[in-house]
Structure 1
Amino acid sequence: MTVMLTVSGILLFVSALLIGYRTLAGPNSLDRLVGVDALLALGICGLTIWMVYTRDTTIAPAVVALGLVGFIGSVSVARFRVRDEE
């Protein structure tokens, strides 16, 4: 079980690096929005892996709150965003 959690954590870290690069190099604001949303989702996954590893469920409300904040933030930015200049 520990090996699977370690591999999962490493894969999450590598994907966070790749998504972080994509977020910084994104050609427009919508690409950056998707990148930030994906980074938040990876953070939620990382917290969940930590929760499974430590067998401590006190982090569960934080995971739910982060999911809610990410959803509301993405919807509000997508709703009120201004077109990028070309």
Structure 2
Amino acid sequence: MSPLLYGASAVALVCLALAMAFAMVRVFRGPSAQDRVLALDALYICGMLVMLVLGIRYTSEMFFEAALLIALFGFVGSASMAKFLLRGEVIE
């Protein structure tokens, strides 16, 4: 790996960790349930991006598969939370 790519991945990981910290603050201090759900969406997207950056950094396909699973479960979780906030129940 070139030193430029190594440094860029380190900067990206630090920025993503900072974004995850801000999202966690919004999850705990969100004024409404919709803000908390949106912060959870941002949190899973940042987690997926961390896995992708680690996959590029270590040239491992296992991280890409983990990112795909995070995206899948995050979408299902977001859809179920949105349905719960709209209707008050998940299963009809």
Pick from 69, 74, 80 the counterpart of residue 73 of structure 2: 69
Which TM-score applies when normalising by structure 2? 0.83
User: What code does the residue aligned with 1:47 have?
Assistant: M
Q: Normalising by structure 1, report the TM-score.
A: 0.88
Matches of 1:13 and 1:58 in 2, distance apart?
Answer: 20
Distance in 1 of aligned mates of 2:24 and 2:69: 22
Cα RMSD after superposing both structures: 1.0
| Bigger Cα displacement from structure 2, 70-79 vs 57-66 | 57-66
Alpha-carbon distance in structure 1 between the residues aligned to 2:17 and 2:26: 14
Give the number of the structure with larger relative contact order, counting CA–CA contacts within 8 Å between residues 6 or more apart: 1
Once the two structures are aligned, what percentage of the paired residues are identical?
Answer: 24
Distance 2:16 2:66 in 1: 19
| 1:3 corresponds to 2:4 | no
| 1:13-60 Cα shifts (integer Å, max 9, x gaps) | 111111111111101111101111111110000011111110011222
Displacement of 1:70 in angstroms is 0.6
